């Protein structure tokens, strides 16, 4: 916060929230946790206590709803579950007192409501859950299984962003640990093949990076998906950001680019683009790019030597 008085105002609001916690409903709890997740919470007096109180308030509301075997419209929805989990994912699962129990409770309830989840909510939830070690969260496996099951049923509604987010999340886990996950990935790449022209640079790089972590020979359609992504990456390479260049080169370096002229062309385009914006690369992106190009004979990839000198 840069403008005068903002920090003091936030602290006053947090203090007021702590004293009026009983007046918060599912929506306002979700919104407050979302806001707190964007702050350096340790720097705001009372913020961690407020987050803990919000979670306790929500837990009581959910327990009351479950005991009544009904959920009032203003108490909890699939959207509020997604929003809250996304906020919580900005912190470690046990960073705030009671947060792990709260996350498990949200997932347990979410497992009973996945029929209400749309493709965006599925992708955002999987992406949030992928930030934690799901093996440490009792309800995670069952919730993920239900989200995947729902995703398989509504695959035709997934757009490029949803596909990219899901693949990015799933690649962080052993897919054989989850029921239907392998089928879900196959359906996602098949869907992606049909709408590949709509992928933006970030979605292309995230999807390439995800697929590169699996043996694509075991996932029918993934080779074709890679080719389609590379094809459209070649057309939009001059709009790739440093992080997209870094992720894409990291993925491409795991395959034999001599097997495809399109892969070699994209690599050349990306290093040319990278040379022009090398001053914007951070240390991690520089390291990833150098690690990627070190796996090729860069004398055969036009512009690679210049890119190395630039970064």
Count CB neighbours of 23 within 10 A: 9
Write out pLDDT tens, residues 119-166.
Answer: 999 999 999 999 999 989 999 999 999 999 999 999 999 999 999 999
Nearest to 247 by CA among 295, 196, 198, 211: 211
Write out pLDDT tens, residues 38-82.
Answer: 888 888 888 889 999 999 888 888 877 666 655 554 567 888 899
159 or 265, higher pLDDT: 159
């Amino acid at each position: 916060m840069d403008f005068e008085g903002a920090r003091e105002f936030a602290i006053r609001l947090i203090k007021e929230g702590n004293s009026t916690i009983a007046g918060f409903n599912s929506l306002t709890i979700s919104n407050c946790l979302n806001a707190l997740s964007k702050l350096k919470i340790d720097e705001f007096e009372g913020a961690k206590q407020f987050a803990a109180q919000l979670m306790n308030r929500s837990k009581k509301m959910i327990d009351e709803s479950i005991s009544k075997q009904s959920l009032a419209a203003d108490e909890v929805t699939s959207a509020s579950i997604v929003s809250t989990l996304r906020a919580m994912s900005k912190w470690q699962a046990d960073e705030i007192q009671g947060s792990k129990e709260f996350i498990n409770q949200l997932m347990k309830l979410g497992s009973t409501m996945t029929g209400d989840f749309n493709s965006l909510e599925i992708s955002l939830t999987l992406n949030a859950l992928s930030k934690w070690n799901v093996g440490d969260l009792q309800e995670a496996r069952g919730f993920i299984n239900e989200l995947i099951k729902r995703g398989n049923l509504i695959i035709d509604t997934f757009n490029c962003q949803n596909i990219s987010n899901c693949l990015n999340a799933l690649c962080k886990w052993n897919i054989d640990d989850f029921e239907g996950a392998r089928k879900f990935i196959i359906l996602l790449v098949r869907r992606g093949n049909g709408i590949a022209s709509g992928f933006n640079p970030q979605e292309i790089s995230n999807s390439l990076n995800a697929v590169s972590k699996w043996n694509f020979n075991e996932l029918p359609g993934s080779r074709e998906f890679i080719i389609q992504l590379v094809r459209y990456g070649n057309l939009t390479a001059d709009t790739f950001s440093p992080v997209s260049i870094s992720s894409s080169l990291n993925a491409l370096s795991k395959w034999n680019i001599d097997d495809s002229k399109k892969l070699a062309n994209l690599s050349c385009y990306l290093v040319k683009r990278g040379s022009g914006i090398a001053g914007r690369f951070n240390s991690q992106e520089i390291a990833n790019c150098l690690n990627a190009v070190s796996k090729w004979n860069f004398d055969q990839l036009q512009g690679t030597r210049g890119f190395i000198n630039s970064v």
